[in-house]
Structure 1
Amino acid sequence: MKEHLHNIYTDDLADVEGYRRFIFIGSFIGCSFLLLFSFIDYFLFDLYLDSAVEAIGAIVLFIIHRIETKRPAQLWPVILGIVTVALVVMVGTFASPSANGYVVWLSLFPFICFLLLENKKAFILSIFLNVLFVVALIYFSVYYPEKGFNIYGIVAAAGALTCGTILAWAYADNRTKMIHLLAKQAKTDALTSLLNRRGLMSSFNLYIALYKRHKQDLCVFILDLDNFKLVNDSFGHDVGDVLIIECANAIKSELRDVDCVARLGGEEYIGILPNTSLEEAEVIAHRIKKTIEELAINLPDNSCVKITASIGLTCTSENRVSFDALYKSADQALYKAKNNGRNRVVLAEKTVTS
């Protein structure tokens, strides 16, 4: 469960449809160019081997293109497409009367691998292609010396390929870390480090899917700090911010690892309790209320600020499955808690409990 929740940070920013579109368009463009080169080499330059290899490459890319029109992007067509284009470039390079000038194109493939694949798989495929390129260079330097390859050229090519792979890996690793950081920031409340509304909705979608699959209870609570505006007006926003942070920590301390809590803004928090009955959730809510009630924020003049919280609690039912329905139900319970004296827990459609 925790691994699923960790992946939530990046799932929304991972543009799966955009990636699929990129492969779809890229395979079509690659297929078109290879087919064009195949005709040019065959009819204009009598390069029959080059033409045949390019035609085969065009067919493979066309198949990948057709696959991408029928189903979501998968790993093996991407790897097959990269290997196909690499082999076409290799054949074109070594079949050319003067191959030295074309070797530089081989150093682009590590970047292509890291652009289209996850870092670990891209690194493995890059090493495989690099080894393949170097072995081919050694073979042609031994059996076809007229191509101009020698030991110095092989070492230089191997060094260039290695440097290209390292640079591509460094760039991709930094890009991945930045994506994770930006994704986390996009779903995290800056003041409390809790989830914000966007992060909460991603978590809720996972929880509700598990609820529908396993038919386990799912409870939601809304917590609002009592008379928080009065605290802000009396002691200033700095003290108010400290109070919000301490209350967030207090809520987290009473929840399990599988539970989820978010700050919706101001002094309002919302929590999701999966696989929890309404009775169990009520016990948790009372613990949270008591912990907040015992908080004390010390001030420079040796006085302290204390606060209480009201909590509205609800649970999934046949007509309460969506986030809006659960939120509305918990909010109505919270409204009753406020109207009945604050500092209490109210269950949706049930009587008040102090």
Structure 2
Amino acid sequence: MPLEQNSTDYSVLNYLQLPVIVFSANAHSEVFKNESFQLVEQYYLHASNNPTNKHLAQIINSKLSENDTDKFEVEINNGSYRHFFRFTAYVVGEHVIVEGEDITELKRNQFLFNRTNTLLEDYSKQMFELAHTDQLTNVPNRRALFTKFSQLQSKHKEFSCTVSLIDLDYFKRFNDSFGHDFGDQVLVTFAKHVKDSIDDTCYFARLGGEEFCLIQINSKDTVCFANTEKLLQTTKTIKLMTPDNSNIVMSFSAGVAVYGKDGISLDELLNNADKALYFAKENGRSRVVKFEGA
């Protein structure tokens, strides 16, 4: 609280534990500083080799003049420890009374709180990414696919897309003949190839096993179908060396469903794309087939 008095004798301020200094309101010259203020200077400043810490009264006076404010903070570094004081100025008659409060612990707690929040945010982000990323291929997983689809629907007023359900051909044969490590290599290679082949209008995810999904957003159906066909042709150019030093060629079968025509929910689109995929596999594999409703 500001000290209301008419006398210029401020010795009563020595009874306060808070550091207090008084300046003249006009000349901004130092009038009085209580014993607590002098202790702050002695304890924190005299042991310091940092010249910016010296003349605390001048620093406070400067902040009063430059910032034209009644509240400000001063950092004091005594060479081994940082201290923070918050000063509040009150105009009392022809003088300005400035009282200080040690907020070092408050600052430290704020830092720890902010640091903890940052760590928690980072941890939460990492957990979210882990929960939405396929750990083998490093592409989004089924959970991420459904989340993304909902976001796309709400974001675009005139949303349209095609959903291609992709299944690698003869994948079980790779696993049985060359082992699961080689099967994992096939999945990783294919996922990387697709990621390198698509642009920002596409969203690619692994549904599980050898099954993937490619969503192509706001493009004509014919263009999306042609893109999936092109992806199939480029996939066929990939050659992998097997553990017995032979080369194998990759391919896939795909079923394509169109948003609106073949469904508006992702479950509907995947279900109809799966029907087209089944037809593709039953008719020789290594082909892209559009869903044709009844």
TM-score (norm 1): 0.55
RMSD over aligned Cα atoms:
2.9
Identity %: 30
Q: Which residue of 1 aligns with 2:271?
A: 328
2:172 matches 1:217: no
Q: 2:87 aligns with which of 135, 138, 141?
A: 135
Partner of 1:269: 212
Distance 1:305 1:158, change over 3 A: same
Q: Is the 8 A contact 1:278 1:314 kept in 2?
A: no
How big is the shift at 1:130? 8.4
Q: CA deviation at 1:288?
A: 1.4
Q: Which amino acid aligns with 1:311?
A: A
TM-score (norm 2): 0.66
Q: Is the 8 A contact 2:163 2:257 kept in 1?
A: yes
Aligned to 1:162: 107
Write out per-residue CA displacement over residues 198-253 of structure 1, whole angstroms, 9 at most, x where no aligned residue: 10011000222245x12x43110000011110110000000000000011111122
Answer 1 or 2: which has greater helix percent.
Answer: 1
Q: 1:130 to 1:199 in 2, by over 3 A?
A: farther
Q: How far 1:258 sits from its partner (Å)?
A: 2.9
Q: Return the alpha-carbon distance in structure 2 between the equivalents of residues 221 and 305 of structure 1.
A: 24
Match of 1:270, SS state, is strand
TM alignment of 1:1-354, pairs within 5 A: 131=73, 134-136=86-88, 154=101, 157-211=102-156, 213-214=157-158, 216-317=159-260, 320-349=263-292
Q: How many Å separate the matches in 2 of 1:242 and 1:194?
A: 14
Query: For 2:108 and 2:269, how far apart are their aligned partners in 1?
Result: 55
- Aligned partner letter, 2:284: G
Supply the distance in 1 between the matched residues of 2:73 and 2:187 (Cα, whole angstroms).
57
Q: Distance in 2 between matches of 1:159 and 1:210?
A: 46
Letter in 2 for 1:304: N
Which string of whole-angstrom CA distances, capped at 9 and with x for unpartnered residues, describes residues 8-43 of structure 1? xxxxxxxxxxxxxxxxxxxxxxxxxxxxxxxxxxxx
Q: Deviations over 1:111-133 (max 9, x none)?
A: xxxxxxxxxxxxxxxxxx98598
Question: Residue in 1 aligned with 2:56?
Answer: none
**Do the aligned residues in 2 keep the contact of 1:197 with 1:264 (CA within 8 Å)?**
yes
Q: Answer yes or no: is the 8 Å Cα contact 2:236–2:249 preserved in 1.
A: yes
Q: Distance between the aligned counterparts of 2:16 and 2:182, measured in 1?
A: 75
How has the CA–CA distance of structure 1 residues 319 and 233 changed in structure 2, closer, same or farther, with 3 Å as cutoff?
closer
Structure 2: runs of 5+ lacking an equivalent: 2-14, 19-70, 75-84
- Alpha-carbon spacing, 1:178–1:346, altered in 2? closer, same or farther (3 Å): same
Structure 1 unaligned runs (5+)? 1-48, 50-96, 101-128
Q: Deviation digits for residues 265-306 of structure 1, max 9, x if unmatched? A: 100001111101110111110121112211111235432232
Deviation per CA, 1:146-182: give whole Å up to 9, x if none: xxx76xxx3xx23223222222221111111111111
2:262–2:269 contact (8 Å) kept in structure 1: no
